[in-house]
């Protein structure tokens, strides 16, 4: 188990570099990952099943013990990032699938990477985890609603498909993981050591699929504009922690502000890419912003933490 943990730590430390190398490899050898296009939902389901395995009733109780901060943080996430996405689409004159992809990643819940960054920066990890849980559980309902409101001007939004796919790849795996944890208890701890490896490999496979499916379109002018948009999207999301302090100064002190910084600014881009590939299958370009986000937010988050 020590070797497994050591490898998991190594993989986490070098994950951003590995993502870049893997993306480049798939750009030149798309056949390495194209086979997985039909399985991205299952790959993400594995990640979220692992998340469920790590959750206990205490994690859910924590949401009830500090409801104001968790609710404010979750609401802020689902307001700030989608609106920033819409503003950036207008500023950069994005349209079609690329605009949809930017808004889609903005509507996603917070990514699990935010927990790591919050820990490294000595933020309130418990608050970070609680907001992450609530925002993820709300995602199947919030993503279709927000996409219909904000992205329907660019393409026809398959609201029902978004909802059903989000339920399948988010709620079912998490619920199954929580149930398994309740049944097997401490025996699960032997498995959770390997979960970071499984999750990161699954995310790499999803990124590989997106790059392979969009290879010829990635480095044309119409796609490259997504890079500065994604960078600004992420950095703007990092800038709202002080606002939380003004809303609730007794709760959002320095450690809590750090947690909010990463919770708001870091998205579950793997979910964004998966939903783009499943619900917007005829427009695979919609998955490109999520892929760029996956690479960039790990870089910016590491530097900021």
pLDDT of residue 278: 83
- Contact in structure between 104 and 269 (CB atoms under 8 Å): no
Phi, psi of 99 (to 5 degrees): -65, -40
pTM across the whole model: 0.84
Give the count of alpha carbons within 13 A of 43, CB side only: 27
Tell which wins on pLDDT, 217 or 265: 265
Query: What residues have CB less than 8 Å from 51, skipping those under 6 apart?
Result: 112, 136, 173, 174, 177, 199
- Contact in structure between 271 and 169 (CB atoms under 8 Å): yes
- CA dist 154 and 268 (Å) reads 22
pLDDT of residue 103: 94
Give the count of alpha carbons within 13 A of 34, CB side only: 9
- Residue range 189-217: mean pLDDT, rounded: 79
Alpha helices in the chain (DSSP H): 2-13, 15-28, 31-34, 40-54, 57-65, 67-91, 96-107, 113-120, 125-151, 159-166, 172-184, 189-192, 195-218, 221-224, 226-237, 241-247, 254-265, 269-279, 288-304
Q: State the chain's mean pLDDT as an integer.
A: 83
- Contact in structure between 301 and 113 (CB atoms under 8 Å): yes
Chain centroid, CA 234 distance in Å: 12
pLDDT band at 294; cut points 50, 70, 90:
confident
- CA dist 165 and 93 (Å) reads 29
Closest CA to 223 of 104, 56, 95: 95
- Residue range 190-197: mean pLDDT, rounded: 76
Cα distances from 65 to residues 60, 70, 115, in angstroms, run 9, 9, 19
- Contact in structure between 133 and 60 (CB atoms under 8 Å): yes
pLDDT of residue 102: 93
- For the stretch 154-171, pLDDT in tens is 888 888 888 888 888 888
pLDDT of residue 53: 80
- CA dist 248 and 83 (Å) reads 22
pLDDT of residue 173: 85
- Contact in structure between 150 and 158 (CB atoms under 8 Å): no
pLDDT band at 1; cut points 50, 70, 90:
low
Give the DSSP letter of residue 235. H
pLDDT at 57 over 80: no
- For the stretch 65-102, pLDDT in tens is 777 888 888 888 899 999 999 999 999 998 888 999 99
């Amino acid at each position: 188990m020590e070797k497994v943990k050591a490898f998991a730590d190594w993989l986490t430390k070098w994950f951003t570099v590995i993502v870049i190398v893997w993306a480049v490899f798939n750009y030149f050898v798309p056949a390495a990952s194209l086979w997985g296009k039909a399985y991205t939902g299952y790959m993400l389901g594995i990640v979220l099943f692992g998340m469920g395995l790590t959750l206990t009733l205490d994690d859910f109780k924590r949401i009830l013990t500090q409801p104001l901060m968790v609710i404010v943080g979750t609401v802020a996430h689902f307001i700030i990032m989608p609106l920033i996405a819409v503003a950036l689409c207008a500023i950069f004159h994005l349209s079609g699938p690329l605009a949809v992809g930017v808004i889609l990643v903005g509507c996603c819940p917070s990514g699990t990477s935010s927990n790591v960054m919050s820990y490294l920066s000595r933020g309130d990890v418990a608050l970070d985890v609680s907001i992450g849980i609530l925002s993820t559980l709300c995602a199947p309902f919030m993503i279709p609603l927000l996409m219909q409101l904000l992205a329907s001007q660019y393409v026809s939004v398959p609201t029902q498909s978004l909802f059903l796919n989000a339920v399948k790849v988010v709620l079912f795996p998490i619920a199954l993981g929580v149930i398994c944890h309740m049944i097997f208890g401490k025996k699960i701890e032997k498995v959770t050591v390997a979960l970071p490896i499984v999750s990161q490999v699954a995310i790499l496979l999803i990124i590989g699929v997106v790059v392979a499916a969009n290879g010829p379109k990635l480095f044309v002018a119409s796609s490259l504009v997504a890079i500065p948009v994604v960078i600004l999207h992420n950095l703007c999301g990092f800038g709202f922690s002080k606002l939380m302090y003004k809303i609730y100064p007794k709760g959002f002190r320095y450690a809590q502000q750090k947690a909010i910084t990463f919770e708001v600014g870091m998205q579950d881009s793997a979910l964004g890419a998966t939903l783009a590939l499943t619900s917007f299958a005829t427009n695979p370009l919609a998955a490109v912003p999520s892929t760029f986000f996956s690479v960039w937010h790990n870089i910016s988050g590491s530097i900021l933490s």
